[in-house]
Structure 1
Amino acid sequence: MIRLTLLIILFLASLLNLFDAPAYYFWLLAIMVSEFPVIFAGVTVAITASGYWPQKYRTAGTILGIVTFLLFISPIIRSFIISRSIKIEMQAAFGSRTILATESSAFKLGKLFKFSDSVIAYQSLVYKTYPGISLTLDYYPSQQPGTRPCVIVIHGGSWSSGNSKQLPELNSYLAKRGYNVASVNYRLAPDYQNPAPVEDVKAALNYLRQNAGNFHIDTNKFVLLGRSAGAQIVLLAAYTLHHSSLKGVIDFYGPADMVWGYSLPANPWVMDSRAVMHRYLGGPYNKVPQNYVASSPIEFVDKQSPPTLIIHGANDVLVAYEHSRRLNDKLQQNGIKHYWLKLPWATHGFDYNLNGPGGQLSTYAVETFLNTVTQ
């Protein structure tokens, strides 16, 4: 009976690869289930195998164990399928000049058993001072010689929390492959509201350009990358600043349509998304509708917008998948080169583990995109 009970618990956890998490802590579990599938599949195999000896409910437990195992490894199977098409799809999206990532394959089974690579040394620097606040960025220098492009990374955190230390593994990965990376802190809500973060992105860009000689940055080749709230900031910056040095923008599960997003809030057991928007935009939509329109990247896409990479998981319970679909359609309508990496099993924050199924595929897409737009 203990075996069957454990397998039932694991089975319920495995369903997070198929369905949205119903509450905040289930969302955190969903990240673990989807991006560390080997651990959960291994535990399932061990418990299922314990039914070799005769016991009550042995057959029922074995069947449930097999089903659970298959659900746990489903992200692995799907990743293999996506990895077979991602090269062709990105080449179709960006044309013959597409330069693929250094990895021979977008997904490798062996990487699932690896820990994240070490983080390289970085400098924390003040890039802008306002009355009462100094903003800093963490600078990861390219590990390849010469003048190199620079990726500006903007963190998530509902516009009111988080910092430049979040998820440093991708910063180090890109630095090792020849990109300078600046992970930027910006002014947070509710003390500071839109467009303050976009102004901070512009200030960071100006600072890096002014000090390009010291940092070995190619001043004509910047790319913006943001996660969640940070993705909204970089998309808005990329589509409104019209800076010739911005060669592309990378959107990890960002809210692209703030007006639509307010009309369909997230599950309140996961996050009170309307309260989050109130803090960032100064009130509800019916009070300050102009602020919601002004903060919606989708409103500013035009035929001069830079190439865009969209990455989103279909099981995202914090930022609806629909945001990316709407942005994808708007980019298509304006003829902007772009690619949408769709991860059917993934939830918000799936890239916590670069060696997980979603982490591997997104890293491959990011490197290919950077190689292509900065050549």
Structure 2
Amino acid sequence: MGKAFMRSITGSLFLVLLLFSCQENEEPGLDARLAIDLLDVKYSEDRPNQLLDIYLPANRNSNTTKVFVWIHGGGWIDGNKSEFKGFKPWLEEVQDDYAYIAINYSLYNISSGSNRFPTQEEDIKKALAYIKSQLSTWNVSDQVVLAGGSAGGHLALLHSYRNNEDKLVKATVAFFPPTDLTAFYGFSLFTNLLLENIMGGNPTNRKEVYFNGSPLNFVDSQSVPTVLFHGDTDTVVPISQSKILEEALIAKNVLHMAEYVIGQGHGFSAQTNKELIGKMQGFLEGVLD
């Protein structure tokens, strides 16, 4: 009886130790029944501004919960991920079962000259790689929409057309984006000064950098479905930047939607944004699984 008791105790202790060992090696999960906000999550250790805000919905799952990723604007020199808070309620009105992610990226520093392009492009690549690595932990699907406005729209398009080798991004959305930096140069004295600084020169002496930084140059027949919105009185990024991209999408038979807003410029009214986001969602529902 004593030996049997000792064998029982020994077996129980072994089982307890095994369970603790498994628990220590497992990454703690997030309760998919609850809505969870994960703020200021680092996606890389290279620079301090490489942060994400992640908004996970309640009752999400890896089969149906899509992911909408927003890249902020600001001319590659300003802005931050808090911009997304203005768009989030409008998105939630028309989207069901979506997780949202807002990306910070390294801004070009005019005074020091640090973080020249393509630093911003590289940050978006790192952010998307991190997002991909966390999809199962967050309990969301790999149906990712990459979107942004102005400089953020440029970075969203550039990643979607040039750096989406793993096909993680299934559709892209851009509000009034620069699409051809060579053509964008010369639009205004401000544009010239900005591009010469951030690109390290002009389109003549930095031809390759301008080419590689232009989403237009990477459109092909396999490009992801695209949504474009642009105002016809935009004095910051001319409407021609979206129109030349639309022409390329048509030429390559890429599924897309483009809408040009009459009488509005670089930034739309709240009502216009709500209407456009509704139209965007109608398009996305037709192209996402």
Report the TM-score range of the alignment, normalised by the length of the smaller protein. 0.7 to 0.9
The residue that corresponds to 1:340 in the other structure is 258
Residue range with higher mean Cα deviation, 252-261 or 163-172: 163-172
Residue in 2 that maps onto 1:367: 281
- Amino acid across the alignment from 1:287: N
| Contact 2:70 2:84 (8 Å CA) reproduced | no
Deviation string, structure 1 residues 161-218 (Cα, Å, up to 9, x no partner): 1000014132344356321111000111142122222222221122122111232221
Q: Which SS does the other structure have where 2:148 is aligned?
A: strand
In the alignment, the residues of structure 1 paired with residue 204 and residue 129 of structure 2 have an alpha-carbon distance, to the nearest angstrom, of: 36
1:329 counterpart SS class: helix
Task: Please point out which of 165, 175, 178 is paired with 2:97.
Answer: 178
Select which of 121, 136, 157 maps to 2:51: 136
What is the CA-CA distance between 1:370 and the residue it aligns to? 2.7
> Which residue identity does 1:333 align to in structure 2?
A
Which of 84, 103, 107 is equivalent to 1:188?
Answer: 107
- Identity between Structure 1 and Structure 2 (%): 26
Distance 2:90 2:36 in 1: 12
Give runs of ≥4 in structure 1 deviating > 4 Å: none
Q: Is this contact kept in 2: 1:238–1:305, CA < 8 A?
A: yes
Q: What's the CA shift for 1:235?
A: 0.6
Within-5 A mapping of 1:153-164: 153-164=70-81
State the partner residue of 1:233.
155
- Amino acid of the structure 1 residue aligned with 2:237: V
The CA deviation at 1:126 is: 1.0
Answering whether residue 204 of structure 2 is matched by residue 289 of structure 1, we say: no
CA distance in 1, matches of 2:56, 2:280: 18
2:86 maps to which residue? 169
**Displacement of 1:365 after TM fit?**
2.0
SS at match of 2:50: strand
Pairing of 1:260-299 with structure 2 (within 5 A): 260-263=183-186, 265-266=187-188, 268=189, 272-299=190-217
Residue 121 of structure 1 and its aligned partner are, at CA, apart by 7.3
Q: 1:154 is aligned with what amino acid?
A: I
Give a deviation string over 1:294-345, Cα, whole Å, max 9, x none.
Answer: 1111011011110100011111110000001100000000010001011111
Question: How far did 1:281 drift?
Answer: 0.8
Task: Give the letter aligned to residue 188 of structure 1.
Answer: L
Superposition TM-score, scaled by structure 1 size? 0.62
Work out whether 1:205 is the aligned partner of 2:128.
yes
Q: Provide the rounded CA distance (Å) in 1 between the counterparts of 2:78 and 2:193.
A: 14
* 2:227 corresponding residue in structure 1: 309
Structure-1 separation of matches of 2:287 and 2:70: 16
Looking at structure 1, the residues matched to 77 and 191 of structure 2 have their Cα atoms a distance apart, in angstroms, of 12
Q: Which has the higher contact order (CA 8 A, sep 6+)?
A: 1
**Residue 242 of structure 2 corresponds to which residue in structure 1?**
324
Task: Find the residue that maps to 1:350 and give its secondary structure.
Answer: coil
**8 Å CA contact retained: 1:309, 1:338:** yes
SS class of match (2:253): coil
Counterparts of residues 38-49 of structure 1 (less than 5 Å) = none
Q: Which amino acid aligns with 1:255?
A: P
By how many angstroms is 1:275 displaced? 1.4
Secondary structure class of the residue paired with 2:170: strand
Residue aligning to 2:268: 350
- TM (norm. structure 2) is 0.79
Q: How far apart are the structure 2 equivalents of 1:370 and 1:146?
A: 19
CA–CA separation in structure 2 for the residues paired with 1:201 and 1:144 = 28
Q: Which amino acid aligns with 1:290?
A: E
Aligned pairs, number: 245
1:109-148 paired onto structure 2 within 5 Å: 122-124=37-39, 125-130=41-46, 132-143=47-58, 145-147=60-62, 148=65
Shift of 1:286: 2.7
Q: 1:134: how far off?
A: 4.9
Distance (Å, rounded) in 2 between the aligned partners of 1:338 and 1:308: 5
Q: Is the 8 A contact 1:144 1:177 kept in 2?
A: no
Matching residue's letter, 1:321: I
The structure 2 residue matched to 1:257, chosen from 171, 180, 188, is 180
CA contact (8 A) 1:149 1:217 kept: yes
Task: Give runs of aligned pairs for residues 64-83 of structure 1, distance below 5 A.
Answer: none
